[in-house]
Structures are given as C-alpha cells and as structure tokens.
A and B are shown apart, each in its own frame.
Chain A
Amino acid sequence: MWKRYGKRYSNMALITCRDASFAYEGNTVVEGLNFTVESGDYLCIIGENGSGKSTIIKGLLRLKTPQTGSIVAGDGLKPSEIGYLPQQTVVQKDFPASAYEVVLSGRLGARGILPFYSRADKAIAEENIRRLDIVDLRNKCYRELSGGQQQRVLLARALCATKKLLLLDEPVAGLDPLVTQELYRLIEDINRQMGITIIMVSHDVRTAVKYASHILHLKNTQAFFGRTEDYVSSGVGISFLNCGCADGRHAE
C-alpha cells in the first residue's frame, strides 16, 4: 500500500502529463506538455496572458479533455479529491451566502449522491475555518467581505475538498500587496505543514520563483519545466525575470 503523503512511498507521480495539447474549436492553444507533479511539490505555472495557463488548469480538473496526449492521475488521486480555487465570477460578487455555507460546500464532491452533510463534513469545515483564521467571518455574508477575506473563504472551501492537491488560478488577482503577501504565506504553510501539493497559475514570476519548488513556463508550448533553481539560471528564466518584471508588476 502507498502512503497518502510523501513521495518516498508512492510508485507513481501524482500527475503525469504526456505530450498533451489542448484546443478550442480546432485551434490549438497549448501543446507539447510534458511534466510530472509529485506529492508535496509546489508547482507554479507562469506565462503571459493567452499562453494557455488557465487551459491547463481546466485540463487538470478534467473540465477539458486533451486533444492529444494524456494527463494521468497517480498515487491514488481521485478527481473528487482535488481542491480548486477558481477566479471569482460575476455571480459570486453579489451572492447572498454566509462564509460558512460557502466553506461547507467544499464537501459536496465527497458527498456523492447523498443529499445532506454529515457531522464529519461539518467538522472538516470547522477545522478549515479555524485553520484559515476566518472564525469571525463565519456568519458574515460572503458578498460583504473584502477581496482578501473572500479568497480565504474560498481557500477554506478548497481545503474541504482535498487532502492531496490544491489548484489555484491566479489567487492574488485584484488583491492589495499586503494581503497578497499574506495569502502567499498561507499557501506556503498549506504546502509545508499539511503536505498538500500545490499547482498555482500566476503571472507574477518573482513571487513564483520565491515560493515554488517547480516552474512550468508556457508560451503556448512548454518553454520550461523543472526545478526553480534550474529555472532562474536558464535562458527562459533569466530573460523572463529581467523583462518579465514589467509583466508581473504591471498586471497587479
């Protein structure tokens, strides 16, 4: 039997992507994807707008099937065990729901066909509310929270859905610098202390190299995949870090 966490025990990567490409209505958006994610990794997917970052997230979530190649989950990872922090939608901005209701809805996938939440589901929700330090927001209305508070609530919901893998799509978009730093630190803690694998899409390359263990750089094809140390000394990395500061900073 494999242990749940820690790559030492597993005989297969958490996610293996082989020669995958994605297309919308016949137009290939991104191709030549070859990378693996091991348990406990912190992978940052970076690239300019339109380089295929969000498409990969959809592929990993199985919301979109690859046109060629494959994405295989290993290490006993089931699709319902992926936590996801999506970009906010218009619908959510004025949604009348308490923070608690939102966090608890992270347990939906685990419920299957069963209609009501169990005591265990509620306990998991409470645990994540405490972990993300949003106890005072518990009964507040989601739409009245600040951007940073909303992200914490959504992060708690994502943690309710997973013990293994968290996918984050531009988690700091629209947040002020201070809240951004806090959120990055929180994500780092989740990775280090809970042993949860992180895959994050970002266009802030400087923060990416600061926190991530691995980098996947996209330019509609795979420009770089490997350890962060190797990335910062690679050709792609150096040029993106130097001119990419404009890309990273201006976008915020």
Chain B
Amino acid sequence: MINALVEMFSYAFIVRAVIVGLLVSLCAALLGVSLVLKRYSMIGDGLSHVGFGTLAVATALNIAPLSISIPATVLAAFLLLRISENSKIKGDAAIALISTGALAIGIMVISFTTGMNTDVYSYMFGSILAMSTSDVTLSVALAVVVLVLFIFFYNKLFGVIFDENFAKATGVKTFLYNMLIAILTAITIVLGMRMIGALLISSLILFPALTSMRICKKFKSVTICAACVSLASFFIGIVVSYSYATPAGASVVIVNIAAFALFWLINSLKRRT
C-alpha cells in the first residue's frame, strides 16, 4: 500500500493533480454548504456548463483557457444572481437558459474549429493530465484567495444565508455577499472543471455539504465536516483512479456518493436507537 502510494507520487503530473484537486475540493466543499443552504445548488451546475462553453472558445482561439474562462464564468455568475433577484424570469429557468445557451455556443465553436477531439472529451469528463505547472501556480493562488475570503467573511455569510432580510435590515450588504459566493463558486468550478470534468464538477460542490448535513447540527461543524469529507473523498478517489486506471473525476464522485450513503446510514441508525 505504502509502496503503491510512493510510486504514485513519483509522477509529477499526479502530484500536480493532487495539489490542485485537494485545494479545489476544499473550496468546493466550503462554498457548497452556502450554496445548498441558500437553495443555489443549480447555480453550480449552470456555471460548470458556462465554464465548458468558455473553455471551448478559448481552445478555438488558442489562448490560455483559464484567462478567458474565469472572467466569463464570473460574469455569468453575476448575471445569474442579478436575474434571479430582480427579473420576472425565475432563478431556475434563468440558470437553465444561461447554461444550455453557453453549452450550445461552446459546441458550435468546437464543431467549426477542432471538431470533437480528445481535448473536448477531457473537458466534459475530466482528465488528470490536464494540469500544467503554470495551471498549478494559478490554481494554488486562486484557491488561497477563495479560502482566505471565505474565512474572513464566514460570519457574514452565515448571517446572509440564514436570514437575508434580517441581515439586510441590520445593515449588512447582502447583495455583496451573495455576489461573493457566486464569484468564488465560479472560480472554484473553472479550476476544478478540467480535472473532474464539466459534467461532474457540481457534485464536488453538493455532495460534501449534503453528506455532512446528515449528521452535523451546527453550521460550524457542518462546514468543517464537509471540508474533511471532501478532502478525504478526493484523496481516496484519486488513489482508486490511479490503482485501477479509472477516470479521475468519476472516481472522486463515486467515493463522494459512498460517503453520502455511509453518513445517511449512520444517521438513520442513530435515529432508530
């Protein structure tokens, strides 16, 4: 077992993937708690489709994928929030509109340029080979920003999620914090998308939060537990992926599902006794 791990970490690409993956899992889990409780779960899913579209455009234009994906996805996050706050199109419909729209544009651009090749395939289902050294640097920097902002605004985020009207009435700038959640989510999604896959990344946001909510009763413990579950799931998933040559993204998600089932079981056993 130890030997297998040592062997695994002798590959530079695996080390890069694990570093970025752990950081992304951590950010995703922390933000996921907010998104799930705020009934924004679908925003994560919608943004990952937008991310896919922008990655396709970036590939077609032959520019660094993150430099176009991050601003475009952040913009989409901003639009989604704005729309769901003011307009007559309801939030879930707005998300479906923007996400499928972006997906369609991405597919069109791909078909005009490269065609459906391995690159596109790896965007959709993830690839452990996707991380270059410069990606790692950028990912680490952004992940640190996400973490610091999250910790710094932790109490404010709690207030805004628990009771937006109360927070607003006592002078908290709620729109700002909603924006913050959406922007941090957008960044996290784009960072994790190429490894986990555009179609799978939102499960990294949702599962840890839902898993820890089976058992934990306090906001703080839910947040910490979600972070631990997410980190553990990612690590186990990547080891499984390496050992059995399974796709990295799907492996991580499967481990997350197993964790969810386990916590659910523990909770229902606890209730019975």
Q: Which of A91, A96, A161 contacts B213 (CB 8 A)?
A: A96
The docked-state distance in angstroms from the alpha carbon of A61 to that of B168 is 8
The docked-state distance in angstroms from the alpha carbon of A141 to that of B156 is 20
**B34 nearest CB across to chain A (Å):** 12
Residues of A near B218 (CB, < 8 A) are 96-98, 101, 139, 141
Check A86 against B163 for contact (C-beta < 8 Å).
yes
Task: Contacts A98-B218, A98-B219, A141-B218 given; indicate if A108 touches B156 (C-beta within 8 A).
Answer: yes
Flag whether B152 is at the interface (Cβ < 8 A): yes
Flag whether B162 is at the interface (Cβ < 8 A): yes
The interface bits of chain B over 136-178 (1 if a CB of A lies within 8 angstroms of the residue's CB, else 0) are 0000000000000001111110110111011111111000000
Q: Interface on chain A toward B: helix, strand, loop, or mixed SS?
A: mixed
Check A141 against B217 for contact (C-beta < 8 Å).
yes
Flag whether A79 is at the interface (Cβ < 8 A): yes
Residues of A near B167 (CB, < 8 A) are 105, 108-109
Size category of the A interface is 35 or more
The docked-state distance in angstroms from the alpha carbon of A141 to that of B214 is 13
The docked-state distance in angstroms from the alpha carbon of A78 to that of B166 is 15
Check B37 against A95 for contact (C-beta < 8 Å).
yes
Question: How many residues of B are in contact with the other chain, CB < 8 A?
Answer: 29
Check A84 against B152 for contact (C-beta < 8 Å).
no
**B12 nearest CB across to chain A (Å):** 38
Check A95 against B156 for contact (C-beta < 8 Å).
no
Q: Which residue of A has the minimal Cβ distance to B161?
A: A91
Flag whether B222 is at the interface (Cβ < 8 A): yes
Check B213 against A109 for contact (C-beta < 8 Å).
no
Most buried by A among B38, B163, B169: B169
> Which B5-41 residues have C-beta < 8 A from chain A?
37-39
Q: Which of A82, A117, A140 contacts B169 (CB 8 A)?
A: A82
Most buried by B among A61, A63, A96, A144: A96
Residues of A near B216 (CB, < 8 A) are 96
Q: Which of B156, B159, B165 contacts A84 (CB 8 A)?
A: B165
Most buried by A among B159, B170, B213, B220: B170
